[in-house]
Amino acid sequence: MGKRGPGAARLREAARGAPHPAPAGAGPLFGDVVPFQPATARHPWEQDGMPPEEQVLAFLRALPIVSGLRAGERMELLEFQERFVRCVYGPLDAEGQRLVRLAALSVARGNGKSAVLAGLSLAHLLGPMVEPYGECYAAALDREQAGVLYRMTRAYVEQVPWMAARVNIRDWHKEIIDERSNSLWRALTSDARKAHGLAPSFWIADEVAQWRSRELWDNLATGMGKRASALGVTISTQAADDLHFFSEMLDAEPVPSVYVQLHAAPEGCALDDRAAWAAANPALGAFLNLDQFADAAARAMRSPSFEPSFRLLQLNQRIDAEARFLNAADWEANGEPFDPAELEGERCYGGLDLSSTRDLTALALWFPAKGKLLAWHFVPGDTIGERVERDRVPYDRWADAGWIETTNGRATDRVAIARRLADIRQCYDVAGIAFDRWRFEDLAKLLSDEGIDLPMSEFVPGFKSYAAAVDAFERAVLERRMRHNGSPILKWQAGNVIIEQDAAGNRKPSKAKSIDKIDGIVAAIMACGLAATDEGPKVYRGIGLEWV
C-alpha cells in the first residue's frame, strides 16, 4: 500500500534518494512488508559487535541538523550528551538486557534537548533500538510543545531518504508509522485520559517539570511493564519546588534501573558567576550563545522580577520562576510613615480594581511628585469572620485598625465606594482614575446619579496596557518612591503578586497565578500606569459616561 495523507507526496519526494529495495527473496525484517534496505553499505550502527550505547551514538551522529546556520551538517554530540547516552544504554543486567528503565537529564534551557529527544525516539522507531510493533510516545505539557517535538522528528525523517522511504506520516494525529517494523511514534499531551492502556516500548517526556499532573507520567511508566525492555527518558529543567514528582525523582536514592544526570548552578551563586553558568549549561559556547546568555544574566541582575525565572530556566536551580514580584525588603524600605493630611490638594492618579459583590475591592491613589501611595480596601462586613477562617489572614484586625472599610451586609456596597470617591474628589487634585470596565456599570450609574464628577480612564487589563504600568510601579518601589505608610494589607498583597510575561517581554500581574489577593497592588499599578502615560483623562460627567 502506498503512502497516503497530506504528507505523502513530500515523503515520496524525500525518499527518491533512498537505496533501492532489497532484491527479491531477501525477505522483510518483520511482518509481510517488503522493506527498503541499503544495497551497497550498512548503516554506521550496524557494525558487528558494536555495543548498544555506541549504536545509539552512531545513529544520532548520522542525523542531519535540520535548521539554523549549520542545517544539513551532521549532528555533533557534546560530552554531557554522550555521557548520558552511554550511562543509559551501556549498563546491562545478567541476561544481557538494558539495565536502565527510566532516565532523566536535567539541564538548563537551550542545551539541545529537543534534538536529542527526537533523535532517541527515532532510534527506537526505526534505528538500532527498533523492535517489532514498538510503541514510541513523545509526551509534552500541551499541544504546542508536543507539536515542537513532532515537527523536529518529522524534519529528521524528511531529511533522511531511507527514513522517508520506510515511514508513513499522519500529520493530523501527529503520528509516524514505520512500515518495516510496524512500530509507531505518536505525540501526547499531559492530558492523560487517552494514555490508559498504552504499552510503550520507548517514551520521552519533554520539560516534565512544567507538568501540573503526574498522571500521564504514571500511565506511561506503568505501561512499560507490558514490554520486556521498555525505556522512558525525560530531559527537563528542574521543577520549582521539592514536592514536584520530578524533584522527587532527582532527589531519590540511586537505584540501578534509574539514571539521573543533573547539571545545575550552585545554590546561591552570583548571577554573573561564569563557572555557575557553565555548570548548568554544558552547551555554553558551543551552540548556546555566550553573549546572549550574558545579556540575560545582566537583565536578571537589574530586575528582581526576572531573576527567579533566570535562575530556574538558565541556571537550572530549584526556585519558583513565578516568584513574588517584589522582594519583601524592597517593599518594606518604602514603609516610612507619613500623615495623609499632608497630601491634601496634591495632584494624584488613581486605580480602581472592582471586585465581585462578595470579594475585595481596592482603590489606590498615587502621588508621583511626593512618592506616596494611599489605598482603601472594601469588604462586606458580614463576611469578615469567614474570610479570616478561609484565608488565614487578619481581616478583622485590619478592619479595626482602619486599613479595611467594611460595608453593610454580605455584598460589597457600591454606595460606600462612591462616597469614598466623592471624598477623594474634595481632598485631592485628581488627574485621573484608571478603572477596569468589568463590573463598572453599576458604579458608573451611581456616580452619575449622585453627580460625582471624576476624570475616569478605562484601563484594558492586557499586556499592552500593563507593561508600562508594571515598569513604572516597580521602578518607584526600587527607588523608594512608593511610600505606603506601612499598610499591613498592602504588605501582604505585595508578597502575593505573580507576574506573567509574554514573548515580547511585556509584564502584567496575574490574579490567577498569584499566591492570594493582590487587588490593592493591582490598583496601585494601574494608577502608576496612568501617571506614566497621562495622555489626558476621559471625563465622567452628568448622566452616563461622556468621553472627551
CATH 3.40.50.300 in the chain, residue ranges: 8-51+100-262
The whole-angstrom separation of Cα 17 and Cα 10 is 13
Do the beta carbons of residue 430 and residue 363 sit within 8 Å? Answer: no
Look up cell 499592552; give the residue: 464
DSSP state, 75? P
CATH 3.30.420.240 in the chain, residue ranges: 329-533
pTM assigned to the model: 0.60
Which is nearest to 438 in space by CA: 534, 357, 531, 345?
A: 357
The whole-angstrom separation of Cα 167 and Cα 539 is 66
Q: Quick count: other Cβ atoms within 10 Å of Cβ 370? A: 15
The whole-angstrom separation of Cα 476 and Cα 482 is 6
The whole-angstrom separation of Cα 299 and Cα 308 is 12
In DSSP terms, which residues pair with 509 in a beta bridge? 499
Alpha-carbon distances of 413 from 17, 267, 421, rounded to whole Å: 76, 49, 13
Contacts (Cβ under 8 Å, ≥6 apart) of 428: 343, 344, 345, 346, 347, 348, 365
8-51+100-262 homologous superfamily? P-loop containing nucleotide triphosphate hydrolases (3.40.50.300)
**DSSP states of 189-207:** ES-GGGGTT---SEEEEES
Q: What is the pLDDT of residue 7?
A: 61
Q: Quick count: other Cβ atoms within 10 Å of Cβ 453? A: 14
pLDDT in tens, 117-127: 999 999 999 99
H/E run at residue 490:
helix 488-494
Which ranges constitute the DSSP H helices of 305-363? 307-313, 328-332
CA Rg value for the chain:
30
At the top level of CATH, the class of 329-533 is: alpha beta
User: 6 is written with which cell numbers?
Assistant: 497530506
Which ranges constitute the DSSP H helices of 361-462? 384-391, 395-400, 414-427, 441-450
Q: What is the pLDDT of residue 503?
A: 65
Residue ranges in the chain whose pLDDT is less than 70: 1-41, 68-69, 190-195, 320-324, 356-359, 392, 503, 515, 535-548
Alpha-carbon distances of 492 from 418, 518, 540, rounded to whole Å: 26, 8, 33
Angle between helices 113-125 and 79-89 (to 10 degrees): 30
Q: What is the pLDDT of residue 323?
A: 55
